[in-house]
Amino acid sequence: MKALVTGSTGCVGANVVAALLRRGYDVRAMHRPTSKLDALEGLEVERVVGDLFDPPSLVRAMEGCDWVFHVAAVSDYWRTPPEVIYRVNVEGTRNVVEAALRAGVRRLIYTSSVGALGVPPEGRLLDESSIFNLPPHRFPYGHSKHLAEEVVQEAVAEGLDAVIVNPAAVMGPRDAHWIGGSVLQEVRQGRAWFAPPGGTCWAAATDVGEGHVLAAERGRTGERYLLGGENLTHRRVLEIVARVVGGREPWITFPRWVMGGLERFVRLTRRFVRFPFSPEQVWLSAREIYCDSGKAVRELGYPQTPFRVAVEEAYRWYRERGWM
């Protein structure tokens, strides 16, 4: 059994590659010609150059593969213009789906996001039945993933065997692009002196990698599987990270009204001032976006590693490379 992984140089993609190798599958890792390959260090895989906007390269990459894991995406939405997010996440997915249909692969596993599920009502958890419920401008990344899921479901209706997975925020090794790992940097350097009032769900990167493979092996066609972990306030996340990396814990939690004012200020001034965060990120950080991974646990056997362990694994990976 052979699998192609797009986005193999990102944290999730590299952990999917590692999980496939642990289970004895042959793996072909697709990356762009300019990609940094640090995340694949130590993984014995076949590498192939491809591009989401070069359809012939996608078909060639899929030749001889039984499964395709489409992980490639823009996930650092706070650093990327919305038009780029939509182009890569929606049109790029459309190109992968069309290539998979042409190549005749047995199964496509699409990496969506909990962002595609919107924001839950207060006191409720997101699950696979949740529907994106925000104005597109409020969260372009989540909206782009919602639209990409629609592309996949249209292909399922045409006969493609596809499964969707929705990872939560991811922490762990092989995060060479500092997505979840940026939290470790902020805390270690003493910049996380305050905590937003909300919270989110954090999944261990190794669990998310395993969850993708389990979805390929056991998932039902056309179904979503939410790959989450611990539901934690932002303050608790920063406290745990500080105890692992040796940084300072936050000394204040801002109320929601302060975050609302900060969001408006960033939105009005970002043309003139460069911020390390986007107004969408500020708004979301004041919400409790918690998840229920029960379906993936029951149907797939999805593991649940504690957040502290995921932080320790990420920190160890960075330290081994002299990055922290």
pLDDT tens, residue by residue, 90-135: 999 999 999 999 999 999 999 999 999 999 998 999 999 999 999 9
Report the DSSP pairing between strands 230-233 and 199-204. Answer: antiparallel
Half-sphere exposure of 269 (CA within 13 A, CB side): 11
Query: Could you tell me how far CA 125 lies from the centroid of its own chain?
Result: 18
Residue 281 has pLDDT above 90, yes or no: no
In a domain, 248, yes or no: no
* Residue spans of alpha helices (H) in 270-320: 279-285, 294-300, 307-320
Parent domain of 90: 2-170+204-229
In a domain, 257, yes or no: no
Tokens for 82, please give them.
């919305």
Report the distance separating Cα 6 and Cα 67, nearest Å.
Answer: 11
In a domain, 72, yes or no: yes
- Tell me the whole-structure pTM to 2 decimals: 0.95
Query: Could you tell me how far CA 247 lies from the centroid of its own chain?
Result: 25
* Residue spans of alpha helices (H) in 219-255: 234-245
Tell me which residue of 139, 157, 2 sits closest to 67, measured CA to CA.
Answer: 2
- For the question of residue 141 being annotated catalytic, the response is yes
Question: Secondary structure of 129-173 in the HEC alphabet?
Answer: CCCCCCCHHHCHHHHHHHHHHHHHHHHHHCCCCEEEEEECEEECC
Q: Give the tens place of pLDDT for each residue, 148-170.
A: 999 999 999 999 999 999 999 99
In a domain, 181, yes or no: no
Residue 275 has pLDDT above 80, yes or no: no
Contact status, residue 2 vs residue 25, Cβ threshold 8 Å: yes
pLDDT at 151: 98
- The percent of residues in the chain predicted with pLDDT above 70, rounded, is 99
Report the distance separating Cα 99 and Cα 79, nearest Å.
Answer: 29
Tokens for 71, please give them.
């992980």
Which CATH number do you get for residue 27?
Answer: 3.40.50.720
pLDDT at 43: 97
In a domain, 212, yes or no: yes
In a domain, 42, yes or no: yes
Contact status, residue 28 vs residue 6, Cβ threshold 8 Å: no
Catalytic site residue from 77, 141, 302, 318:
141
In a domain, 279, yes or no: no
Tokens for 306, please give them.
């504690």
Of 79-83, 103-107, 129-133, 229-233, the least confident: 79-83
In a domain, 41, yes or no: yes
**204: which residues sit within 8 A by CB, 6+ positions away?**
170, 171, 172, 229, 303, 305, 306, 307, 309, 310, 313
Contact status, residue 197 vs residue 259, Cβ threshold 8 Å: yes
pLDDT at 91: 98
Give the torsion through C-alpha atoms of 236, 237, 240, 244, to 10 deg: -160
Q: How large is the average pLDDT for residues 38-48?
A: 96
The total number of structural domains that make up the chain = 1
